[in-house]
Amino acid sequence: MTAKKTEFKKNLVAYSFIAPNFIGFAIFTLVPMVFAFILAFLDWDGSPYNPMHFVGFKNFANLASDDQFLAAFKNTIVYTVETVPLTLIMALILAVLLNQKIKGRDFFRTVCFFPYVASMVAVAAVWNMLFNPGMGPVNEILRGFGVQNPPGWSADKDWAMTTIVQFSVWKYMGYYMILYLAGLQGINPELYEAANLDGCNGWQRFWNVTIPQLSATTFFVLVMLVIQCFKVYDVVYMITQAGPGTATLVMVYDIYNKAFVYSSFGSASAEAIVLFALVLIVTLIQFRGQRKTEA
Amino acid sequence: MQVVSTKQKIIRMIVYVLLVLCAAVMLLPFLWMLSASLKLDKDVFTFPVQWIPKHPRWANYHDIWTEIPLLTFVKNTVKLTVIVTLLQLFTSSFAAYAFAKLQFKGRNTLFLGYIATIAMPWQVYMVPQFVMMSKMGLNNTHLAIILLQAFSAFGVFMMKQFYTSIPTELCEAARVDGMTEYGIYFRIMLPLSKPALSTLTIFTFVNTWNDFLGPYIYLTREELKTIQIGLRMFITQYSQEYGLIMAASVVTLIPVLIVFLSLQQYFVQGIATSGLKG
Amino acid sequence: MRNLKKTIVLALVALMAVFGVFANGTAETPATEKGKTELVWAVWDIGSTAYYQPIIDAYEAKHPDVTIRMVDLGSADFMTALQTQLASGSSEFDVVTIKDIPGYNNLVKKNMIVNLNDYIAKDKIDTKQYGGTTEQISVNGNLYALPFRSDFWVVFYNKGLFDKAGIQYPTNDMTFAQYDALARKMTSGNGANKVYGCHYHTWRSCVQLFGILDGKHTIIQPPYDYLKPYYEMVLGEQNDGICQNYATLKASSIHYSGQFQNGSIAMMNMGSWYIATQIQKVAAGEADPSKSWGIVKYPHAEGVAPGSTLGTITSLSISQGSKKKDAAWDFVKFVTSPEGAAVVAKTGTIPAIMSNAVVDEIASMPGFPTDGNSKEALHVGKAYLEMPLSDKSGQIETVLNQVHDEIMTYNISVDDGLKKMGKEVQKILDTN
């Protein structure tokens, strides 16, 4: 067979692997996404009976002076910067701890996974109750320790974001712990033996074997975490409803408002594209970083 | 013979204490949920918090089945979740193998494009997607939810990362032996990816089980609805029956726990590398 | 360890089986019989709304060739879900219920509901019977919905608490100052025994809309200085522990109904829909501390006649995509007629057509307070809708809610908050 024919056949085989997933994805997800992209350049109120007008970049220009958008933009970045490192570190620590042979390991693993699994409606209600600024247990305990003015949590514009971050870390660290656990299974134990022979202690083993070996997993966790944080909506909706004022208004929340409350699908899509561009840039940077480590 | 030094014993103790503290932090809200599930609605949010209800209202666990058709919802959710999970597992791992181990034209660009779409929040293209699905006649069908959830870029991304960590030498050796790519996938990659597949199963299962917005939009006929929609039905315009919400949440947590516990055994060290020696 | 885990898994499965025993099967969905017209009606909270089925039964009895099938879109995001459903131009829905004004506004803008003027003229419907509410929902003289249910706001009070404190009940003619003074007198105790003089639910309408009752202002027009005395009154009460803290209420999803039923509130301003809930809870024995209760009219500003209050209407519209518009209109016509109003009134819900007969009907319901004042409170003077129709009502509503939230949680002072409200609403009104 000629080289070209082998090449062609190779490509075909590869595409056949991708096809089942990609075709379904393309039809049912990609097409609407592309349409939503196009909407950013139109003015449409979401009605099948009303026309769509082409408005070029007007939606984007309007964003620059849109108070809601500016608040949402800032809040989303703050939220991401605070949530990502905390969640990642907690998840890693938990995974390493729960990878040891200790009694009750399965129990602890299940417990850590609980917050992720439970229904958001119930868990958010519980969280709000526990952190109730007036009479919730957390503040009661703080007062017991002598704290005069415990934080107002979700009712205080200076603490609302922290409350959301705390809740997110609590809810998601179990999820990422699982990812790290799966990654840890892939580390060749011979590497640890070699390190032991070289006289490494536990901490050095962690730094020199575990972390580098987890690089592919860490990359995945980081990318997913960042994307998840940029896309946050449910948590905000359930805990603070973007309040007080606009203290916890995030971009997807504003996008939702623009589309479904103001019936302005064009500006909603424009904001979505800004969000998408942001995530893309951050993800590309991460990809570059990963490429360097893999080389 | 290993001598466990005092230092190691102390470290182990500290680890245990940390874990117990951690477990407490994780579990506290659930204890509250359990306690709330046995209370009358008006008593759920009283202060100071009553951890053990004075008059446990076991009737809540009966009422959740009669006030809303919870059994139907559970059946629907199970059906959707199982189908979506199986489809995702297969198509994602299938595609991920190509991205991880095969060289072909446009591989990196396509992969990047795939991941990029994860960044788009669903709320943005939800309406165009709904309009399209409606015109295809898929409104109010379980098939719509399946088609929406089963083909996700997330699954492909995750499986690809795991496949990357499986040494390529294994595949090379098999190719030299004359195995087709399909053979390599079925005989070598699949068995080795048990931890990854278990992980994907857990995630897809939980995601689909807890999904609210999708079923909310597409399933308006009562007999098609799912658990999450059912839970919100306890929050009506003029009252919020939190006692029942908590009871229903506890009950619907159980299947997920079962799945999680049964897949735990695949997180055992050393499976992935067992093929390397020799 | 393996065995322990297996046992746990088995135990969980067994638990599931036990729960399954409690579960009952669901009712069968009746199949549409041949030859009948089926109308699909978009509603919310089927399980907890008393009047849907009686209306359907009454209509189907008179029209044996029509069946009505309800679709429950849930109450939390009803209008949003409805707009999404209708976005595909589907013919799935025929009759849709209108829950609030901003949502109605969106539907009209999007041309998703039918202009009813021709139908109204043809069947000679007299819109005056709706007490002036149809004028408030007309868009350039066009009416897109007809109200079938109206609620107005009153003050609920716990007679038992007043008796115990030896204080006179509230009356149908109270100024805000008198109402505030009464609330302060009634506040007593602390901890688990605390009685709050009054209670404000977390909706902004519970506080902000005191300000529009004199008819001189509308909530979508800045400046908002006229709201200052009311915010000061409520925040003063909050500071002094006369009413519960807004932040606490919001964070703990405490529902006003539970608070009132627990007997911890002396007076509560709330909508008339709560009458039916209270009656039902008392009858079920779940609200004993509040089983002796009554209602009086909303307080009024100095110099304004009593009887003005907030109104909320629920209306019916016909979906633009419906293929059975005429049949849908016939149903809408029935529900919004005096005949339909009678069916609604029998369930303890207040229909949009208020007449003395309807008032009598409601006041004579078992469980309704028997004192004269409560019955008198059902006679409403002028009812102002919570939000007038406006193109920008969605955006304005968002700002009003955000600033209300900030003021009530002390994140911004009343003066600064009202200034901010005015500035942002003006900006919305000025942009096109």
* Residue A135: closest C-alpha in chain C: C248
Judged against a pLDDT cut of 60, whether residue B275 lies above it is answered with no
Whether B156 has its CB under 8 Å from any CB of chain A: the answer is yes
Q: Is the ipTM of this complex over 0.90?
A: no
Radius of gyration of chain A (CA): 24
Give per-residue burial for B83-115: e unless 16+ CB within 10 Å, then b: bbbebbbbbbbbbbbbbbbbebeebeebbeebb
Q: At residue C41, what are phi and psi to the nearest 5 degrees?
A: -120, 120
pLDDT in tens, A45-93: 888 888 889 998 999 999 998 989 999 999 999 999 999 999 999 999 8
Judged against a pLDDT cut of 90, whether residue B17 lies above it is answered with no
Whether A208 has its CB under 8 Å from any CB of chain C: the answer is no
Q: Is C346 strand, coil or helix?
A: helix
Confidence (pLDDT) at C19: 53
Question: Are C20 and B71 a contacting pair at CB < 8 A?
Answer: yes
pLDDT in tens, A105-122: 888 888 888 888 888 888
* Residue C262: closest C-alpha in chain B: B42
Task: For residue B3, give how far its alpha carbon lies from the nearest alpha carbon of chain A (Å).
Answer: 16
Query: For residue A207, is it within any domain?
Result: yes
The residue range of the domain holding A139 is 58-294
Q: Tokens standing for A108? A: 């602890």
Q: How many domains is chain A partitioned into structurally?
A: 1
Q: Considering only CB atoms, which chain A residues are within 8 Å of B32?
A: 126, 129-130
CATH at residue A222 = 1.10.3720.10
Residues 167-206 of A with CB under 8 A from B: 170, 174-175, 178-179, 181-186, 188-190
Q: Are strands C146-158 and C293-297 parallel, antiparallel or unpaired?
A: antiparallel
Give per-residue burial for C74-96: e unless 16+ CB within 10 Å, then b: bbebbbbbbbbbbbbebebbbbb
Query: For residue A241, is it within any domain?
Result: yes
Query: For residue A27, is it within any domain?
Result: no
Number of Cα atoms under 13 Å in the Cβ half of residue A10: 16
Query: For residue A34, is it within any domain?
Result: no
Query: For residue A74, is it within any domain?
Result: yes
The number of angstroms, rounded, from the C-alpha of B2 to the middle of its chain's C-alpha atoms is 40
Query: Rounded to an integer, what distance in angstroms lies between the CA atom of residue A152 and that of residue C408?
Result: 13
* Residue B242: closest C-alpha in chain A: A122
Q: Considering only CB atoms, which chain B residues are within 8 Å of A46?
A: 127
Q: Do A136 and A154 touch, CB atoms closer than 8 A?
A: no
Question: Are B124 and A36 a contacting pair at CB < 8 A?
Answer: yes
Q: Considering only CB atoms, which chain B residues are within 8 Å of A190?
A: 273
**Which residue shows structure tokens 């408030």?**
C136
Question: Are A46 and C87 a contacting pair at CB < 8 A?
Answer: yes
Confidence (pLDDT) at A54: 92
DSSP secondary structure string for all residues of B202-262: HHHHHHHHH--HHHHHH--SGGG--HHHHHHTTB-SS-B-HHHHHHHHHHHHHHHHHHHHH
Picking from B45, B71, B217, the nearest residue to C23 by CB comes out as: B71
Residues 61-120 of B with CB under 8 A from C: 61-62, 65-72, 74
Confidence (pLDDT) at B267: 59
Picking from C87, C392, C406, the nearest residue to A47 by CB comes out as: C87
Q: Which residues contact B68 (CB under 8 A, 6 or more apart)?
A: B230, B233, B234, C47
Whether B236 has its CB under 8 Å from any CB of chain C: the answer is yes
Judged against a pLDDT cut of 90, whether residue A129 lies above it is answered with no
Q: Is C368 left (phi over 0), alpha (psi -120 to 50) or beta?
A: beta
Q: Give mean pLDDT, residues B112-140.
A: 86
Count of CB atoms within 10 A of residue B9's CB?
Answer: 10
pTM of the model: 0.85
C contact test, residue of B220, B253, B254, B257 with most C CBs within 10 A = B220
Query: For residue A274, is it within any domain?
Result: yes
Query: For residue A15, is it within any domain?
Result: no
Whether B89 has its CB under 8 Å from any CB of chain A: the answer is no
Radius of gyration of chain C (CA): 24
How confident is the prediction along chain C (432 residues), in pLDDT tens digits per residue? 455 555 566 666 656 555 544 443 333 334 445 678 999 999 998 887 889 999 999 999 999 999 999 999 988 889 989 998 898 888 889 999 999 888 899 899 899 999 999 999 999 999 888 877 888 899 999 999 999 998 899 999 999 999 999 999 999 999 999 999 999 999 998 877 889 999 999 999 999 989 988 888 889 889 999 999 999 999 999 999 999 999 888 887 778 888 898 899 999 999 998 888 888 888 888 888 888 999 999 999 888 888 888 888 899 999 999 999 999 999 999 999 999 999 998 887 889 998 888 888 888 888 899 999 999 998 888 888 888 888 888 889 999 999 999 999 999 999 999 999 999 999 999 886
What's the longest Cα–Cα distance across chain B?
A: 72
Question: Are C253 and B45 a contacting pair at CB < 8 A?
Answer: yes
Confidence (pLDDT) at C27: 32
Task: For residue A57, give how far its alpha carbon lies from the nearest alpha carbon of chain B (Å).
Answer: 18
Task: For residue C252, give how far its alpha carbon lies from the nearest alpha carbon of chain B (Å).
Answer: 7
Q: What is the DSSP code (8-state) at residue C379?
A: S
Query: For residue A25, is it within any domain?
Result: no
Chains that touch A (3 or more CB pairs under 8 A): B, C
Q: Which residues contact A294 (CB under 8 A, 6 or more apart)?
A: A215
Q: Which residues contact C351 (CB under 8 A, 6 or more apart)?
A: C148, C149, C150, C340, C341, C342, C344, C345, C358
